[in-house]
Chain A
Amino acid sequence: MDGDPRNVGFFEFLSTEERAEFAEVSELVAFTPGETLIEEGSEPSSLFVLTSGRVEVSKRIPRHGERILAEIDAANEKTVVGERGLLDSRGASATVRAKGEVEAIKIPREKFRAMISAGSPAAYKLATRITRILARRLTRLDEKVVETIRELEYRGETDLDVFRDKLVTEWTV
Protein backbone atom coordinates (compact mmCIF):
# COMPACT_ATOMS: atom_id res chain seq x y z
CA MET A 1 0.00 0.00 0.00
CA ASP A 2 1.19 3.46 -0.89
CA GLY A 3 1.89 5.67 2.11
CA ASP A 4 1.58 8.93 0.20
CA PRO A 5 -1.53 10.99 1.08
CA ARG A 6 -1.71 11.87 -2.62
CA ASN A 7 -2.73 8.27 -3.33
CA VAL A 8 -4.79 7.40 -0.25
CA GLY A 9 -8.60 7.34 -0.54
CA PHE A 10 -9.13 9.03 2.81
CA PHE A 11 -7.69 12.29 1.44
CA GLU A 12 -10.02 12.38 -1.60
CA PHE A 13 -11.79 15.45 -0.24
CA LEU A 14 -8.62 17.53 -0.70
CA SER A 15 -7.31 19.14 -3.89
CA THR A 16 -4.03 17.91 -5.37
CA GLU A 17 -2.19 20.91 -3.90
CA GLU A 18 -3.64 20.35 -0.47
CA ARG A 19 -2.71 16.67 -0.56
CA ALA A 20 0.82 17.68 -1.46
CA GLU A 21 0.82 19.95 1.58
CA PHE A 22 -0.04 16.96 3.82
CA ALA A 23 2.52 14.79 2.02
CA GLU A 24 5.09 17.28 3.27
CA VAL A 25 4.19 16.88 6.96
CA SER A 26 3.06 13.26 7.15
CA GLU A 27 5.10 10.13 7.45
CA LEU A 28 4.44 6.49 6.72
CA VAL A 29 4.60 4.34 9.83
CA ALA A 30 4.42 0.55 10.33
CA PHE A 31 3.55 -1.42 13.46
CA THR A 32 4.20 -5.02 14.36
CA PRO A 33 1.49 -7.18 15.99
CA GLY A 34 0.74 -6.03 19.56
CA GLU A 35 2.57 -2.75 19.16
CA THR A 36 0.87 0.34 20.56
CA LEU A 37 -0.13 3.20 18.26
CA ILE A 38 -1.67 5.27 21.04
CA GLU A 39 -1.45 4.70 24.80
CA GLU A 40 -4.38 5.63 27.00
CA GLY A 41 -3.57 8.56 29.28
CA SER A 42 -0.43 9.56 27.36
CA GLU A 43 0.16 12.94 25.64
CA PRO A 44 -2.44 13.97 23.07
CA SER A 45 -1.79 11.75 20.09
CA SER A 46 -1.09 12.34 16.45
CA LEU A 47 -3.58 11.33 13.79
CA PHE A 48 -3.21 7.96 12.12
CA VAL A 49 -4.92 7.23 8.83
CA LEU A 50 -4.96 3.44 8.58
CA THR A 51 -3.95 2.14 5.21
CA SER A 52 -3.67 -1.60 5.98
CA GLY A 53 -4.11 -4.06 8.84
CA ARG A 54 -6.37 -4.14 11.88
CA VAL A 55 -6.22 -2.33 15.19
CA GLU A 56 -7.94 -2.89 18.51
CA VAL A 57 -9.25 0.00 20.63
CA SER A 58 -9.41 -0.65 24.38
CA LYS A 59 -10.02 1.27 27.57
CA ARG A 60 -9.09 0.68 31.19
CA ILE A 61 -12.07 0.29 33.54
CA PRO A 62 -11.39 0.86 37.24
CA ARG A 63 -11.21 -2.49 39.10
CA HIS A 64 -12.19 -4.39 35.95
CA GLY A 65 -9.00 -4.33 33.90
CA GLU A 66 -9.05 -3.49 30.22
CA ARG A 67 -12.16 -3.65 28.08
CA ILE A 68 -12.03 -3.90 24.24
CA LEU A 69 -14.21 -1.17 22.76
CA ALA A 70 -13.79 -1.78 19.03
CA GLU A 71 -11.78 -3.42 16.31
CA ILE A 72 -11.05 -1.43 13.19
CA ASP A 73 -10.07 -2.98 9.88
CA ALA A 74 -8.48 -0.70 7.30
CA ALA A 75 -9.83 -2.95 4.53
CA ASN A 76 -13.45 -2.29 5.53
CA GLU A 77 -13.45 1.39 6.22
CA LYS A 78 -11.40 4.39 5.42
CA THR A 79 -10.71 5.34 8.92
CA VAL A 80 -8.57 7.25 11.30
CA VAL A 81 -7.54 6.88 14.92
CA GLY A 82 -6.26 9.57 17.25
CA GLU A 83 -8.51 12.19 15.72
CA ARG A 84 -9.52 13.53 19.12
CA GLY A 85 -5.90 14.09 20.07
CA LEU A 86 -5.41 16.23 17.02
CA LEU A 87 -8.10 18.72 18.08
CA ASP A 88 -8.14 18.36 21.85
CA SER A 89 -5.35 19.03 24.31
CA ARG A 90 -6.24 16.27 26.78
CA GLY A 91 -4.43 12.94 26.97
CA ALA A 92 -5.44 9.96 24.88
CA SER A 93 -8.80 8.49 26.00
CA ALA A 94 -8.10 4.92 24.85
CA THR A 95 -5.33 2.60 23.77
CA VAL A 96 -4.95 1.59 20.13
CA ARG A 97 -2.95 -1.55 19.47
CA ALA A 98 -1.99 -3.32 16.24
CA LYS A 99 -3.77 -6.68 15.79
CA GLY A 100 -1.41 -7.71 13.03
CA GLU A 101 0.96 -5.88 10.70
CA VAL A 102 -0.39 -2.36 10.45
CA GLU A 103 0.53 0.49 8.15
CA ALA A 104 -0.68 4.03 8.61
CA ILE A 105 -0.05 7.58 7.61
CA LYS A 106 0.85 9.62 10.66
CA ILE A 107 0.13 13.33 10.77
CA PRO A 108 2.03 14.61 13.81
CA ARG A 109 -0.04 16.77 16.12
CA GLU A 110 2.41 19.68 16.35
CA LYS A 111 2.75 19.92 12.54
CA PHE A 112 -1.01 19.95 12.11
CA ARG A 113 -1.34 22.65 14.83
CA ALA A 114 1.27 24.72 12.97
CA MET A 115 -0.75 24.44 9.72
CA ILE A 116 -3.87 25.60 11.59
CA SER A 117 -1.97 28.55 13.07
CA ALA A 118 -0.79 29.46 9.58
CA GLY A 119 -4.41 29.45 8.39
CA SER A 120 -3.93 26.53 6.00
CA PRO A 121 -7.24 25.75 4.21
CA ALA A 122 -6.08 22.12 3.89
CA ALA A 123 -5.75 21.83 7.68
CA TYR A 124 -9.21 23.36 8.19
CA LYS A 125 -10.69 20.97 5.65
CA LEU A 126 -9.16 18.04 7.56
CA ALA A 127 -10.50 19.48 10.83
CA THR A 128 -13.98 19.64 9.29
CA ARG A 129 -13.68 16.04 8.09
CA ILE A 130 -12.59 14.90 11.55
CA THR A 131 -15.52 16.78 13.07
CA ARG A 132 -17.86 14.84 10.80
CA ILE A 133 -16.26 11.55 11.87
CA LEU A 134 -16.62 12.56 15.52
CA ALA A 135 -20.25 13.52 14.98
CA ARG A 136 -20.97 10.09 13.50
CA ARG A 137 -19.22 8.37 16.39
CA LEU A 138 -21.15 10.46 18.89
CA THR A 139 -24.43 9.42 17.27
CA ARG A 140 -23.43 5.77 17.45
CA LEU A 141 -22.41 6.25 21.09
CA ASP A 142 -25.79 7.78 21.94
CA GLU A 143 -27.53 4.77 20.44
CA LYS A 144 -25.28 2.45 22.39
CA VAL A 145 -25.97 4.28 25.67
CA VAL A 146 -29.73 4.01 25.17
CA GLU A 147 -29.41 0.31 24.36
CA THR A 148 -27.26 -0.32 27.43
CA ILE A 149 -29.64 1.50 29.72
CA ARG A 150 -32.52 -0.58 28.39
CA GLU A 151 -30.51 -3.77 28.84
CA LEU A 152 -29.65 -2.83 32.42
CA GLU A 153 -33.26 -2.10 33.20
CA TYR A 154 -34.24 -5.58 32.10
CA ARG A 155 -31.28 -7.39 33.56
CA GLY A 156 -31.73 -8.10 37.31
CA GLU A 157 -34.33 -5.40 37.78
CA THR A 158 -37.62 -7.28 37.84
CA ASP A 159 -40.32 -6.23 40.33
CA LEU A 160 -39.36 -9.20 42.52
CA ASP A 161 -35.68 -8.23 42.50
CA VAL A 162 -36.47 -4.67 43.45
CA PHE A 163 -38.62 -5.98 46.32
CA ARG A 164 -35.92 -8.40 47.47
CA ASP A 165 -33.28 -5.67 47.44
CA LYS A 166 -35.61 -3.43 49.42
CA LEU A 167 -36.20 -6.13 52.05
CA VAL A 168 -32.53 -6.98 52.36
CA THR A 169 -31.08 -3.49 52.30
CA GLU A 170 -33.75 -1.38 53.98
CA TRP A 171 -35.92 -3.61 56.10
CA THR A 172 -33.76 -6.23 57.76
CA VAL A 173 -33.89 -5.98 61.55
Chain B
Amino acid sequence: MGFFEDTNYFFGHAIDAMDVDDNIEALLVTPNRSVTVKIPLEMDDGTLRVFKGYRVQHNNARGPFKGGLRYAAEMDLDEAHSLASLMTWKTALAEIPYGGAKGGITVDVRELNRRELERLTRQFVNSIHEFIGPQTDIPAPDMNTNAQVMAWIMDQYSTLHGHTPAVVTGKPVDLYGAEGREAATGRGVVYVIEELLKDESRDIEETTFTIQGLGNVGSFAARFPDGLGAKIIGVSDVSGGVYDERGLPVREILEHTSSGGLLEGYAGSDAITNDELLTLPTDVLVPAAIGGVINESNMREVRASYVVEAANSPVTPKADEHLKKKGVIVVPDILANAGGVIVSYHEWVQNLQNFSWKEERANAELHDKITEAYRDVRKLAKSRNLDLRTAAFVLAIGRVGKATVLRGIR
Protein backbone atom coordinates (compact mmCIF):
# COMPACT_ATOMS: atom_id res chain seq x y z
CA MET B 1 0.00 0.00 0.00
CA GLY B 2 1.48 3.35 -1.00
CA PHE B 3 1.09 6.70 0.66
CA PHE B 4 -1.97 7.60 -1.43
CA GLU B 5 -3.78 4.37 -0.70
CA ASP B 6 -3.00 4.95 2.98
CA THR B 7 -4.65 8.36 2.89
CA ASN B 8 -7.66 6.98 1.07
CA TYR B 9 -7.84 4.11 3.55
CA PHE B 10 -7.98 6.44 6.55
CA PHE B 11 -10.47 8.74 4.80
CA GLY B 12 -12.63 5.75 3.89
CA HIS B 13 -12.50 4.54 7.47
CA ALA B 14 -13.88 7.87 8.70
CA ILE B 15 -16.55 7.96 5.99
CA ASP B 16 -17.64 4.47 7.09
CA ALA B 17 -17.74 5.56 10.73
CA MET B 18 -20.00 8.45 9.71
CA ASP B 19 -22.13 6.17 7.53
CA VAL B 20 -22.16 8.67 4.67
CA ASP B 21 -24.12 7.99 1.49
CA ASP B 22 -22.11 7.08 -1.66
CA ASN B 23 -23.32 10.16 -3.56
CA ILE B 24 -22.09 12.43 -0.79
CA GLU B 25 -18.79 10.59 -0.66
CA ALA B 26 -18.36 11.21 -4.39
CA LEU B 27 -19.17 14.88 -3.81
CA LEU B 28 -16.39 15.10 -1.21
CA VAL B 29 -13.78 13.02 -3.02
CA THR B 30 -14.01 14.31 -6.59
CA PRO B 31 -11.66 17.26 -7.25
CA ASN B 32 -13.16 20.53 -8.50
CA ARG B 33 -10.55 20.92 -11.21
CA SER B 34 -7.38 19.21 -12.48
CA VAL B 35 -5.06 21.07 -14.77
CA THR B 36 -2.23 19.47 -16.74
CA VAL B 37 0.11 21.77 -18.63
CA LYS B 38 3.02 21.45 -21.01
CA ILE B 39 6.23 23.18 -19.90
CA PRO B 40 8.80 23.37 -22.72
CA LEU B 41 12.27 24.29 -21.48
CA GLU B 42 15.43 25.17 -23.36
CA MET B 43 18.33 23.79 -21.36
CA ASP B 44 21.55 25.77 -21.08
CA ASP B 45 23.21 23.40 -23.57
CA GLY B 46 20.57 24.21 -26.18
CA THR B 47 18.58 20.98 -25.98
CA LEU B 48 14.81 21.22 -25.68
CA ARG B 49 12.99 19.32 -22.98
CA VAL B 50 9.26 19.12 -22.42
CA PHE B 51 7.96 18.71 -18.86
CA LYS B 52 4.47 18.17 -17.52
CA GLY B 53 3.05 20.33 -14.76
CA TYR B 54 -0.06 19.74 -12.68
CA ARG B 55 -2.40 21.55 -10.37
CA VAL B 56 -5.28 19.68 -8.77
CA GLN B 57 -7.80 21.88 -6.97
CA HIS B 58 -9.70 19.49 -4.80
CA ASN B 59 -12.22 21.49 -2.79
CA ASN B 60 -12.85 25.16 -2.03
CA ALA B 61 -16.03 24.99 0.04
CA ARG B 62 -14.22 26.58 3.00
CA GLY B 63 -12.00 29.04 1.13
CA PRO B 64 -9.38 29.41 -1.64
CA PHE B 65 -7.49 26.28 -2.64
CA LYS B 66 -4.24 25.81 -0.74
CA GLY B 67 -1.42 23.33 -1.11
CA GLY B 68 2.16 22.73 -2.08
CA LEU B 69 4.00 22.36 -5.35
CA ARG B 70 6.41 19.45 -5.55
CA TYR B 71 9.08 18.85 -8.15
CA ALA B 72 9.66 15.10 -8.34
CA ALA B 73 10.33 12.45 -10.97
CA GLU B 74 7.42 10.32 -9.73
CA MET B 75 4.94 13.24 -9.57
CA ASP B 76 1.74 12.70 -11.54
CA LEU B 77 -1.92 13.65 -11.58
CA ASP B 78 -2.99 10.77 -9.30
CA GLU B 79 -0.45 11.73 -6.69
CA ALA B 80 -1.49 15.37 -6.91
CA HIS B 81 -5.12 14.35 -6.48
CA SER B 82 -4.52 12.33 -3.31
CA LEU B 83 -2.32 15.00 -1.79
CA ALA B 84 -4.81 17.73 -2.73
CA SER B 85 -7.63 15.96 -0.90
CA LEU B 86 -5.39 15.52 2.14
CA MET B 87 -4.90 19.31 2.15
CA THR B 88 -8.67 19.80 2.15
CA TRP B 89 -8.95 17.78 5.36
CA LYS B 90 -5.84 19.34 6.90
CA THR B 91 -6.98 22.94 6.41
CA ALA B 92 -10.46 22.05 7.65
CA LEU B 93 -9.05 20.37 10.75
CA ALA B 94 -6.83 23.39 11.51
CA GLU B 95 -9.88 25.60 10.92
CA ILE B 96 -8.10 27.91 8.55
CA PRO B 97 -10.23 29.36 5.71
CA TYR B 98 -8.84 27.30 2.87
CA GLY B 99 -9.67 24.38 0.70
CA GLY B 100 -7.18 21.85 -0.61
CA ALA B 101 -4.91 21.68 -3.64
CA LYS B 102 -1.61 20.18 -4.75
CA GLY B 103 0.51 20.35 -7.83
CA GLY B 104 3.97 20.23 -9.21
CA ILE B 105 6.16 19.19 -12.08
CA THR B 106 7.36 15.75 -13.10
CA VAL B 107 11.05 16.49 -12.98
CA ASP B 108 14.22 15.18 -11.36
CA VAL B 109 15.62 18.45 -10.01
CA ARG B 110 19.16 17.03 -9.92
CA GLU B 111 19.18 17.20 -13.73
CA LEU B 112 18.60 20.98 -13.71
CA ASN B 113 20.88 23.79 -12.69
CA ARG B 114 19.60 26.84 -10.85
CA ARG B 115 19.00 28.96 -13.98
CA GLU B 116 17.06 26.11 -15.61
CA LEU B 117 15.03 25.57 -12.46
CA GLU B 118 14.09 29.25 -12.42
CA ARG B 119 13.03 29.24 -16.07
CA LEU B 120 11.05 26.04 -15.52
CA THR B 121 9.25 27.63 -12.56
CA ARG B 122 8.45 30.84 -14.45
CA GLN B 123 7.18 28.87 -17.44
CA PHE B 124 4.98 26.84 -15.12
CA VAL B 125 3.52 30.06 -13.67
CA ASN B 126 2.85 31.34 -17.21
CA SER B 127 0.79 28.19 -17.82
CA ILE B 128 -1.20 28.15 -14.59
CA HIS B 129 -1.45 31.82 -13.63
CA GLU B 130 -5.10 31.97 -14.67
CA PHE B 131 -5.95 29.26 -12.16
CA ILE B 132 -4.08 30.60 -9.13
CA GLY B 133 -4.35 33.88 -7.22
CA PRO B 134 -4.51 35.24 -3.66
CA GLN B 135 -8.27 34.57 -3.45
CA THR B 136 -8.31 31.55 -5.76
CA ASP B 137 -5.47 29.15 -5.13
CA ILE B 138 -2.33 29.82 -3.10
CA PRO B 139 0.62 27.44 -3.70
CA ALA B 140 3.35 26.71 -1.13
CA PRO B 141 6.67 24.82 -0.94
CA ASP B 142 6.70 21.05 -0.93
CA MET B 143 9.16 18.33 -1.89
CA ASN B 144 12.16 19.90 -3.73
CA THR B 145 10.66 23.37 -3.80
CA ASN B 146 11.79 26.06 -1.37
CA ALA B 147 11.51 29.74 -0.48
CA GLN B 148 13.52 30.72 -3.57
CA VAL B 149 11.12 28.86 -5.88
CA MET B 150 8.22 30.65 -4.15
CA ALA B 151 9.97 34.00 -4.71
CA TRP B 152 10.17 33.25 -8.46
CA ILE B 153 6.49 32.31 -8.50
CA MET B 154 5.52 35.54 -6.72
CA ASP B 155 7.65 37.58 -9.10
CA GLN B 156 6.37 35.92 -12.25
CA TYR B 157 2.75 36.17 -11.14
CA SER B 158 3.30 39.82 -10.22
CA THR B 159 4.64 40.64 -13.69
CA LEU B 160 1.38 39.28 -15.10
CA HIS B 161 -1.08 40.60 -12.52
CA GLY B 162 0.70 43.40 -10.65
CA HIS B 163 2.30 43.21 -7.21
CA THR B 164 0.77 40.17 -5.46
CA PRO B 165 2.82 38.74 -2.60
CA ALA B 166 -0.22 36.82 -1.25
CA VAL B 167 -0.36 34.53 -4.31
CA VAL B 168 2.07 32.12 -2.70
CA THR B 169 3.32 31.33 0.82
CA GLY B 170 6.60 30.01 2.12
CA LYS B 171 8.44 32.95 0.61
CA PRO B 172 11.85 34.09 1.90
CA VAL B 173 11.65 36.13 5.10
CA ASP B 174 13.23 39.03 3.19
CA LEU B 175 10.49 38.91 0.57
CA TYR B 176 7.13 38.90 2.39
CA GLY B 177 7.82 35.55 4.04
CA ALA B 178 6.77 34.82 7.62
CA GLU B 179 9.30 34.74 10.39
CA GLY B 180 9.43 31.26 11.89
CA ARG B 181 7.93 29.35 8.99
CA GLU B 182 10.87 26.95 8.80
CA ALA B 183 10.37 25.99 12.42
CA ALA B 184 6.57 26.05 12.27
CA THR B 185 5.84 22.38 11.63
CA GLY B 186 8.28 21.23 14.33
CA ARG B 187 6.96 23.83 16.74
CA GLY B 188 3.39 22.68 16.04
CA VAL B 189 4.43 19.09 16.76
CA VAL B 190 5.78 20.17 20.14
CA TYR B 191 2.64 22.17 21.01
CA VAL B 192 0.56 19.08 20.24
CA ILE B 193 2.84 16.90 22.37
CA GLU B 194 2.50 19.32 25.30
CA GLU B 195 -1.30 19.11 25.11
CA LEU B 196 -1.18 15.35 24.78
CA LEU B 197 0.97 14.95 27.87
CA LYS B 198 -1.31 17.29 29.83
CA ASP B 199 -4.27 15.07 28.88
CA GLU B 200 -2.37 12.01 29.93
CA SER B 201 -1.30 13.67 33.21
CA ARG B 202 2.36 13.17 32.38
CA ASP B 203 5.17 15.48 33.38
CA ILE B 204 7.23 16.47 30.33
CA GLU B 205 10.43 16.30 32.38
CA GLU B 206 9.66 12.69 33.31
CA THR B 207 8.95 11.70 29.71
CA THR B 208 11.43 10.22 27.27
CA PHE B 209 11.43 11.11 23.56
CA THR B 210 12.80 9.50 20.43
CA ILE B 211 12.88 11.43 17.17
CA GLN B 212 13.50 9.95 13.75
CA GLY B 213 14.73 12.51 11.25
CA LEU B 214 16.61 15.73 11.92
CA GLY B 215 15.49 17.62 8.85
CA ASN B 216 13.22 20.62 8.71
CA VAL B 217 10.64 19.11 11.07
CA GLY B 218 12.65 16.77 13.27
CA SER B 219 15.43 19.19 14.16
CA PHE B 220 12.95 21.78 15.39
CA ALA B 221 10.83 19.15 17.11
CA ALA B 222 14.00 17.98 18.88
CA ARG B 223 15.04 21.48 19.89
CA PHE B 224 11.82 22.44 21.67
CA PRO B 225 11.31 19.49 24.02
CA ASP B 226 14.95 19.84 24.95
CA GLY B 227 14.26 23.46 25.93
CA LEU B 228 11.31 22.26 28.04
CA GLY B 229 13.57 19.95 29.98
CA ALA B 230 12.47 16.75 28.30
CA LYS B 231 14.78 13.79 27.97
CA ILE B 232 15.50 12.92 24.34
CA ILE B 233 17.04 9.46 24.36
CA GLY B 234 17.27 8.74 20.65
CA VAL B 235 17.61 10.70 17.40
CA SER B 236 18.51 9.70 13.86
CA ASP B 237 19.01 11.00 10.35
CA VAL B 238 19.41 9.18 7.02
CA SER B 239 22.85 7.87 8.04
CA GLY B 240 21.75 6.31 11.33
CA GLY B 241 21.08 7.25 14.93
CA VAL B 242 22.43 7.72 18.40
CA TYR B 243 21.03 6.54 21.73
CA ASP B 244 21.58 7.35 25.36
CA GLU B 245 19.03 6.25 27.92
CA ARG B 246 20.14 9.08 30.26
CA GLY B 247 19.32 11.67 27.58
CA LEU B 248 21.26 12.99 24.60
CA PRO B 249 23.09 16.34 24.37
CA VAL B 250 20.63 17.54 21.73
CA ARG B 251 22.08 21.02 21.33
CA GLU B 252 25.49 19.62 20.57
CA ILE B 253 24.11 17.07 18.13
CA LEU B 254 22.08 19.71 16.27
CA GLU B 255 25.15 21.93 16.00
CA HIS B 256 26.98 19.01 14.46
CA THR B 257 24.21 18.21 11.95
CA SER B 258 23.24 21.78 11.06
CA SER B 259 26.80 22.44 9.94
CA GLY B 260 26.34 19.67 7.40
CA GLY B 261 27.54 16.71 9.45
CA LEU B 262 25.84 13.33 9.44
CA LEU B 263 24.99 11.55 12.68
CA GLU B 264 27.11 8.65 11.49
CA GLY B 265 30.18 10.73 12.19
CA TYR B 266 29.00 11.90 15.58
CA ALA B 267 30.97 10.08 18.27
CA GLY B 268 29.33 11.47 21.41
CA SER B 269 26.83 8.62 22.04
CA ASP B 270 26.09 4.98 21.18
CA ALA B 271 25.38 4.45 17.49
CA ILE B 272 22.18 2.60 16.48
CA THR B 273 20.41 1.96 13.18
CA ASN B 274 17.20 3.67 12.12
CA ASP B 275 15.32 0.38 12.59
CA GLU B 276 16.62 0.03 16.14
CA LEU B 277 15.66 3.63 16.88
CA LEU B 278 11.98 2.93 16.18
CA THR B 279 11.87 0.16 18.76
CA LEU B 280 13.67 1.92 21.62
CA PRO B 281 12.02 1.81 25.08
CA THR B 282 10.69 5.36 24.88
CA ASP B 283 7.50 7.11 25.97
CA VAL B 284 6.99 9.28 22.90
CA LEU B 285 8.13 8.28 19.42
CA VAL B 286 8.19 11.04 16.79
CA PRO B 287 8.73 9.75 13.25
CA ALA B 288 9.69 12.96 11.43
CA ALA B 289 11.38 11.63 8.32
CA ILE B 290 9.62 9.62 5.64
CA GLY B 291 6.39 7.65 5.18
CA GLY B 292 5.78 3.99 6.00
CA VAL B 293 8.55 3.55 8.59
CA ILE B 294 6.26 1.85 11.12
CA ASN B 295 4.78 -1.06 9.24
CA GLU B 296 3.85 -4.73 9.41
CA SER B 297 7.48 -5.81 9.79
CA ASN B 298 8.29 -3.79 12.93
CA MET B 299 4.94 -2.83 14.48
CA ARG B 300 5.15 -5.58 17.14
CA GLU B 301 8.46 -4.23 18.42
CA VAL B 302 7.34 -0.65 18.90
CA ARG B 303 7.61 0.07 22.63
CA ALA B 304 6.44 3.68 22.73
CA SER B 305 3.17 4.61 24.44
CA TYR B 306 2.61 7.53 22.07
CA VAL B 307 3.45 7.93 18.41
CA VAL B 308 3.28 11.48 17.06
CA GLU B 309 3.29 11.56 13.27
CA ALA B 310 5.44 14.58 12.44
CA ALA B 311 6.13 13.16 8.95
CA ASN B 312 3.39 12.34 6.47
CA SER B 313 2.04 8.78 6.81
CA PRO B 314 4.87 7.25 8.86
CA VAL B 315 2.44 4.60 10.21
CA THR B 316 0.85 2.26 7.67
CA PRO B 317 -2.83 1.28 8.07
CA LYS B 318 -1.92 -2.26 9.21
CA ALA B 319 0.50 -0.92 11.81
CA ASP B 320 -2.07 1.67 12.83
CA GLU B 321 -4.62 -1.09 13.54
CA HIS B 322 -2.04 -3.03 15.54
CA LEU B 323 -0.94 -0.04 17.63
CA LYS B 324 -4.57 0.85 18.29
CA LYS B 325 -5.25 -2.66 19.62
CA LYS B 326 -2.15 -2.47 21.77
CA GLY B 327 -3.40 0.77 23.32
CA VAL B 328 -0.74 3.02 21.79
CA ILE B 329 -2.05 6.52 21.14
CA VAL B 330 -1.19 7.70 17.64
CA VAL B 331 -1.49 11.42 16.92
CA PRO B 332 -2.20 11.53 13.16
CA ASP B 333 -0.17 13.51 10.65
CA ILE B 334 -3.02 15.77 9.55
CA LEU B 335 -3.12 17.07 13.11
CA ALA B 336 0.49 16.77 14.29
CA ASN B 337 2.16 18.43 11.30
CA ALA B 338 -0.49 21.07 10.57
CA GLY B 339 1.83 23.78 11.94
CA GLY B 340 3.29 24.38 8.48
CA VAL B 341 0.03 25.20 6.78
CA ILE B 342 -1.17 27.25 9.76
CA VAL B 343 1.89 29.50 9.51
CA SER B 344 1.39 29.64 5.73
CA TYR B 345 -2.07 30.98 6.46
CA HIS B 346 -0.58 33.58 8.80
CA GLU B 347 1.89 34.61 6.10
CA TRP B 348 -1.01 35.08 3.68
CA VAL B 349 -3.01 37.11 6.22
CA GLN B 350 -0.02 39.40 6.82
CA ASN B 351 0.57 39.79 3.05
CA LEU B 352 -3.06 40.74 2.49
CA GLN B 353 -2.81 43.34 5.25
CA ASN B 354 0.63 44.63 4.26
CA PHE B 355 1.64 44.05 7.83
CA SER B 356 4.01 41.80 9.68
CA TRP B 357 3.66 40.25 13.09
CA LYS B 358 6.29 40.07 15.78
CA GLU B 359 7.58 36.59 16.53
CA GLU B 360 5.70 36.31 19.85
CA ARG B 361 2.38 36.94 18.14
CA ALA B 362 3.18 34.49 15.34
CA ASN B 363 4.01 31.75 17.84
CA ALA B 364 1.00 32.53 20.01
CA GLU B 365 -1.36 32.33 17.03
CA LEU B 366 0.14 29.02 15.94
CA HIS B 367 -0.17 27.71 19.49
CA ASP B 368 -3.85 28.71 19.71
CA LYS B 369 -4.78 27.20 16.36
CA ILE B 370 -3.05 23.86 16.71
CA THR B 371 -3.98 23.23 20.34
CA GLU B 372 -7.60 24.07 19.54
CA ALA B 373 -7.52 21.52 16.72
CA TYR B 374 -6.02 18.98 19.09
CA ARG B 375 -8.68 19.68 21.74
CA ASP B 376 -11.50 19.30 19.19
CA VAL B 377 -10.11 15.99 17.94
CA ARG B 378 -9.58 14.66 21.45
CA LYS B 379 -13.09 15.68 22.49
CA LEU B 380 -14.72 14.01 19.51
CA ALA B 381 -12.57 10.90 19.94
CA LYS B 382 -13.63 10.62 23.56
CA SER B 383 -17.32 11.29 23.05
CA ARG B 384 -17.64 8.88 20.12
CA ASN B 385 -15.07 6.35 21.23
CA LEU B 386 -12.89 6.83 18.14
CA ASP B 387 -9.13 6.75 17.70
CA LEU B 388 -7.54 10.19 17.17
CA ARG B 389 -6.97 9.64 13.46
CA THR B 390 -10.55 8.69 12.66
CA ALA B 391 -11.78 11.54 14.85
CA ALA B 392 -9.53 14.00 12.99
CA PHE B 393 -10.89 12.91 9.61
CA VAL B 394 -14.49 12.91 10.87
CA LEU B 395 -14.06 16.43 12.21
CA ALA B 396 -12.51 17.64 8.94
CA ILE B 397 -15.11 15.93 6.77
CA GLY B 398 -17.84 17.42 8.95
CA ARG B 399 -16.48 20.95 8.52
CA VAL B 400 -16.12 20.63 4.76
CA GLY B 401 -19.52 18.95 4.63
CA LYS B 402 -21.23 21.74 6.54
CA ALA B 403 -19.69 24.41 4.32
CA THR B 404 -20.78 22.42 1.27
CA VAL B 405 -24.42 22.04 2.29
CA LEU B 406 -24.65 25.64 3.51
CA ARG B 407 -23.40 26.90 0.15
CA GLY B 408 -25.62 24.48 -1.73
CA ILE B 409 -25.10 23.02 -5.17
CA ARG B 410 -24.79 25.59 -7.91
- Does chain A have a CB within 8 A of B200? no
Name the residue in A160, A161, A172, A173 with the highest tally of chain B Cβ atoms < 10 Å from its Cβ: A173
Say yes or no: is B24 at the interface (Cβ < 8 Å to chain A): yes
Q: A168 to B408, alpha carbons, bound, how many Å?
A: 16
Give the bracket for the number of chain A residues in contact with chain B: 10 to 19
Q: Does B395 contact A (CB under 8 A)?
A: yes
**Contact A163-B21, Cβ < 8 Å, known A171-B398, A173-B395:** yes
Contact call B380/A163, Cβ cutoff below 8 A? no
Q: Is B48 positioned at the interface, with any CB of A under 8 Å from its CB?
A: no
> Which residues of A, 113-170, contact B by the 8 Å Cβ criterion?
159-164, 166-168, 170
Residues of B within 8 A of A166 (CB): 18-20
Pick the contact of A167 from B376, B379, B383, B398 — CB < 8 Å? B398
Q: Once bound together, how far apart are the Cα atoms of A162 and B23, in whole Å?
A: 11
A167 touching B24 by the CB < 8 A rule?
A: no
A163 touches B24 (CB 8 A): yes
Closest CB in chain B relative to A158 CB, distance in Å:
9
Mask for B384-410, Cβ within 8 A of A = 1, else 0?
Answer: 000000000011001001101100110
A30 to B380 Cα, complex, angstroms: 68
Which residues from B are CB-within-8-Å of A167? Answer: 398, 401-402, 405
In the complex, are the beta carbons of B379 and A173 less than 8 A apart? yes
Is B405 a contact partner of A163 (Cβ separation < 8 A)? yes
Would you give the shortest CB distance from A168 to chain B, in whole angstroms? 8
Smallest CB separation, A172 vs chain B (Å): 7
B395 neighbours in A (Cβ, 8 Å): 173
Q: Among B394, B401, B408, which residue has the most Cβ atoms of chain A within 10 A? A: B401
A170: nearest chain-B partner, CB-CB: B18
Instruction: Decide: A171 and B18 in contact? CB cutoff 8 A.
Output: yes
Task: Assess whether A164 is in contact with B18, with CB atoms less than 8 Å apart.
Answer: no
Whether B409 lies near A160 (C-beta < 8 A) is yes
Pick the contact of B394: A159, A161, A164, A171 (CB < 8 A). A171
Instruction: Give the distance in Å from the alpha carbon of A172 to the alpha carbon of B395 in the complex.
Output: 8
Most buried by A among B19, B24, B380: B24
Q: Which residue of B lies closest to A165 (CB)?
A: B405
Q: Is the CB of B20 within 8 A of A160?
A: no
Which A residues are CB-close (under 8 A) to B401?
163-164, 167
B-side interface residues toward A, CB under 8 Å?
18-21, 23-24, 376, 379-380, 383, 394-395, 398, 401-402, 404-405, 408-409
Shortest 5 CB-CB distances between A and B: which pairs?
A: A164-B405, A163-B24, A171-B398, A159-B23, A173-B380
